[in-house]
Amino acid sequence: MPNKLIVYIISDAIGETAQHIIRAATAQFALDYVPDIRRHPFIRDEETLLETLKEARREGGIVVQTLVTSHLAEKSSRFCRDNGLQNVDLLRDLTAAIEEQTGLSSLEDPGNMRRLDRAYFDRIRAIEFAVKYDDCKDPRGLLEADIVLIGVSRTSKTPLSSYLANQNLKVANVPLVPEIPLPKELLQIDHRRIIGLTTTPEKLERIRKTRLKSIGLDEMSNYSSEKRILEELTYGYETFKTLGCRVIHVEDKAIEETAALVTEMIQLDQSI
């Protein structure tokens, strides 16, 4: 019978990175029990470190460490060597390689990772913003957005909004429909924050027919008719001209490519 798997995560931050890696590794084994993963975060002094290491020795556990402070990392590794404990240092080799490549020394500041985590929370807020102000559900969001995408139906406004939100950008989008007046907020914002999306009539017709078919509706409806599509695209171009916004043709572009064009435009504006 194999030995019970106990893993001690020792970190001077939260230890979340190590936990994800351990779970990915243990998933490759046909264990008939849940591995015992014991996370010990915010270890910043030798006394606490030694207490944890001694517990790991008693339990016969594997020590996985993400200690950015070199003297604590070395002390942990030395203890494991001296006591026959398996030890995996997830940071040391990579840190050494970066130091050698850049000629810089590690800051050895565990708090830096927490500050970097702010970018994660900013991204979550941007994603929530994109969902809240998708399809102009609330026009007030246009005034707060970093980017406003406008275009007729099925020109990739929503997926592009989501993709850009993952780059920490607050994005709102507005569908252009000839029968529906533009929200007044759209006329109040800097035209450089507005990006028009358009495509060819042929591409739009194919996309709309596919969409109708996928939801069980008649693909030959007015929504996908050539006349209606030309009417909407013409209205779209008139709107782009009225607003003085830049336009991206999305017909032959992946979402990633369109997003790169959008961010390039925004960054260019910020550099002027």
Q: What is the pLDDT of residues 118-149, one digit of tens each?
A: 777 888 899 999 999 999 999 999 999 999 99
Contact 146, 193 (CB under 8 A): yes
pLDDT value for 198: 98
Whether residue 99 is found in the same domain as residue 163: no
Three-class secondary structure of residue 33 per DSSP: coil
At 113 the pLDDT is 63
pLDDT digits (tens, 9 = 90+) for 74-133: 999 999 999 999 999 999 999 999 999 999 999 898 867 655 567 778 888 999 999 999
Are 25 and 152 members of one domain? no
The answer as to whether 80 is a domain residue is yes
Distance CA 265, CA 194 (A): 10
pLDDT at position 269 is: 78
In a domain, 114, yes or no: no
Phi, psi of 49 (to 5 degrees): -60, -50
What's the mean pLDDT in 237-258? 96
- Residues 155, 25 within the same domain: no
pLDDT at residue 271 greater than cutoff 80: no
Question: What pLDDT, on a 0 to 100 scale, did the predictor assign at position 15?
Answer: 87
Q: Mean pLDDT over residues 224-228, rounded?
A: 95
Residues 140, 55 share a domain: no
User: How do beta strands 246-249 and 87-89 pair?
Assistant: unpaired
Q: What is the pLDDT of residue 117?
A: 62
Of 82, 109, 136, the last residue of a domain is 109
Q: How many domains, the chain?
A: 2
Mean pLDDT value across residues 186-198 = 97
- Are 93 and 20 members of one domain? yes
- Domain-located, residue 12: yes
Reported as a pLDDT band with limits 50, 70 and 90, residue 1 is low
Question: What is the model's pLDDT at position 115?
Answer: 58
Task: Show the tokens assigned to 56.
Answer: 């790991």
Angular region, 241: left φ>0, alpha ψ -120 to 50, beta rest: alpha
Query: Domain check: are 259 and 130 in the same one?
Result: yes
- Both 34 and 98 in a single domain? yes
The CB density around residue 199, as the number of other CB atoms within 10 Å, is 24
CA 175 – CA 166 distance, rounded (Å): 21
In a domain, 130, yes or no: yes
Residues 96 and 137 in one domain: no
Beta-bridge partner residues of 64: 9, 88
Range of the domain at 13: 6-109
Q: Are residues 105 and 130 in the same domain?
A: no
The DSSP secondary-structure symbol of 169 reads -
Q: Out of 12-16, 70-74, 161-165, 199-203, pick the least confident.
A: 12-16
Whether residue 197 has pLDDT greater than 70: yes
Same structural domain, 85 and 123: no
Distance of CA 205 to the CA centre of its chain: 31
103 with 124, same domain: the answer is no
CATH code for the domain in which residue 18 is found: 3.40.50
Residue 247 exposed, middle or buried by CB count within 10 Å (0-12, 13-18, 19+): middle
Cα-atom radius of gyration of the chain, to the nearest Å?
27
CB 72 within 8 A of CB 52: no
- Give the residue carrying structure tokens 């050539």: 226
In a domain, 203, yes or no: yes
* Mean pLDDT value of segment 239-258: 96
Which range scores top for mean pLDDT: 92-101, 238-247, 260-269? 238-247
261: in domain: yes
pLDDT at 45 over 70: yes
Residue 1, in any domain of the structure: no
Helices (H), 133-254: 141-144, 157-165, 201-214, 226-243
Average pLDDT estimate for 13-32: 91
Question: Residue 27: inside a domain, yes or no?
Answer: yes
pTM score: 0.62
Centroid of chain to Cα 124:
8
Domain boundary among 45, 78, 109: 109
| Contact between residue 143 and residue 189 where contact means Cβ atoms under 8 Å apart | yes
**Do 159 and 186 share a domain, yes or no?**
yes
pLDDT tops 90 at residue 64:
yes
Distances (CA, A) of 86 to 75, 124, 132, 234: 14, 37, 49, 68
Across the chain, what does the average pLDDT equal? 93
